Amino acid sequence: MTDIIIVGAGPAGLTAAIYAQRAGRKAVVFEASVYGGQIVNTPEIENYPAIKKISGYEFAQTLYEQAKDLGAEIKMERVVGIKDGGSVKTVVTDKGEYECRAVILATGAKNRPLGLENEKALIGKGVSYCATCDGMFFRGKTVAVAGGGNTAVEDAFFLSNYCEKVYLIHRRDEFRAHEREVEKLRAKENVEFVLNKNVTALREDGGRLCAVEVTDKNTNEKQELSVAGLFVAIGQSPDNTAFENVASLADGGYIKAGEDCLTGTDGIFTAGDCRTKAVRQLTTAASDGAAAALAASGYIDSMDI
């Protein structure tokens, strides 16, 4: 019997493990692929408090070692379901079943890619999925943002304050983003709207992005835009369907939970990008991990009274 099982070894899950162990609870973390989550693909982190600069891999490695040194156990197994037995939860993986008293779901969310041939190889070499994380690396350069929702418009506005020029590429001529935000962006002199077009190819030079090909969806006419960076903002996709029986899901598949990280099921908590939230950053993932671990510890304490 384990005190707390944490599903996901990203920043939220590993932070939860640290706080659980420091609270005197035994934590076991399950991870399906690689610990650290999406942050391992970030070449440099410059917006985490008290750390001026660190690579995503080094950050993930340090966080992993900190959790392990405190006594957390990390198992490389995919969690495929959870059985709620009241005071005892059973976590089902692709290798077996494990009992615990509380569960923290920290499965994260994956950025939805464009699906282009060399997109993955250019991540960190011009292709990014987070303007606030990587935008400062493109100060004074020309970049593009792909997308038409609030995130894409906000990213383009943010980048326009630092970059020489920003292309906003959208496959329609209307935006899902709030009209007020779109109009604010239109007022920026260094932003150009590229509408009714899809990004259809990525060009590289010396292993770095140098241009994007866009294709008009009505005429099939192709055009190349010279850019140093492409910020993909076409949404994220969480993977929470296996936990629908213990956690209510909002539109888009995110777990319904507020800043307290509580789900609608006693003993089931959530943390990080997999839950409904306005801001998804490294700092907010760590904050969620701490909140969820302390809430889970408090839940176990209440069960022992």
Domain boundary among 232, 247, 276: 232
Q: What is the pLDDT of residues 215-248, one digit of tens each?
A: 999 999 999 999 999 999 998 889 899 999 999 9
Together in a domain, 101 and 143: no
Range of the domain at 177: 120-232
Asked if pLDDT for residue 181 goes beyond 80, the answer is yes
Shared-domain flag, residues 81 and 129: no
The answer on 242 and 209 residing in a single domain is no
Q: Which of 69, 94, 100, 133 is catalytic?
A: 133
Instruction: Tell me the average pLDDT across 198-208.
Output: 97
The one-letter code for the residue type at 161 is N
Q: What is the pLDDT of residue 178?
A: 86
Q: Which of 3, 100, 134, 273 is catalytic?
A: 134
**At 45, is the pLDDT very low, low, confident or very high (cuts 50, 70, 90)?**
confident
- pLDDT confidence tier of residue 83, bands split at 50, 70 and 90: very high
Instruction: Please compute the mean of the pLDDT values over residues 153-162 and round it to a whole number.
Output: 94
Q: In percent, how much of the chain has pLDDT > 90?
A: 85
Looking at the structure, tell me whether residues 259 and 223 fall in a common domain. Answer: no
Q: What does the pLDDT average to over 68-93?
A: 97
For this structure, is 100 an active site residue? no
- Cα separation, 215 vs 116, in Å, equals 13
Final residue of a structural domain among 200, 232, 264: 232
CATH number at residue 139: 3.50.50.60
Q: Is 133 one of the annotated active-site residues of the chain? A: yes
User: Is 216 noted as a catalytic residue in this protein?
Assistant: no
Q: Examine the domain organization and report whether 90 and 223 are in the same domain.
A: no
183 has a pLDDT exceeding 90: yes
User: How many domains would you assign to the chain?
Assistant: 2
HSE-up of residue 233 (Cα within 13 Å, Cβ side): 29
Bridge-partner residues for 30, per DSSP? Answer: 7, 75
Asked if residue 126 and residue 106 are part of one domain, the reply reads no
Q: Is residue 252 pLDDT above 90, yes or no?
A: no
Q: Are residues 17 and 29 in the same domain?
A: yes
Domain identity same for 214 and 255 = no
Q: Which residue in 78, 82, 48 sits closest to 63, CA to CA?
A: 48
- What span, in angstroms and rounded, lies between the C-alpha atoms of 121 and 63? 25
Give residue 276's pLDDT band: very low, low, confident or very high (50, 70, 90): very high
Q: Which of 204, 232, 260 is the last residue of a domain?
A: 232
User: Do 171 and 192 sit in the same domain of this protein?
Assistant: yes
Residue 271, both tokens: 């943390």
Any residues with CB less than 8 A from the CB of 148 and at least 6 apart, and which? 170, 171, 172, 174, 175, 176, 177
Do 153 and 171 share a domain, yes or no? Answer: yes
The answer to whether residue 282 scores a pLDDT higher than 80 is yes
Q: Which residues contact 58 (CB under 8 A, 6 or more apart)?
A: none
pLDDT, mean over the chain: 95
Whether the pLDDT of residue 38 is over 90: the answer is no
100, 130, 261, 274: which is the annotated catalytic residue? 130
Pair 150, 203 in one domain: yes
Which of 54, 75, 66 is CA-nearest to residue 2?
A: 75
Residues 284 and 267 in one domain: yes
- 59-63, 243-247, 277-281, 282-286: lowest mean pLDDT where? 277-281
Sheet holding 222-226, edge to edge: 197-205, 208-216, 222-226
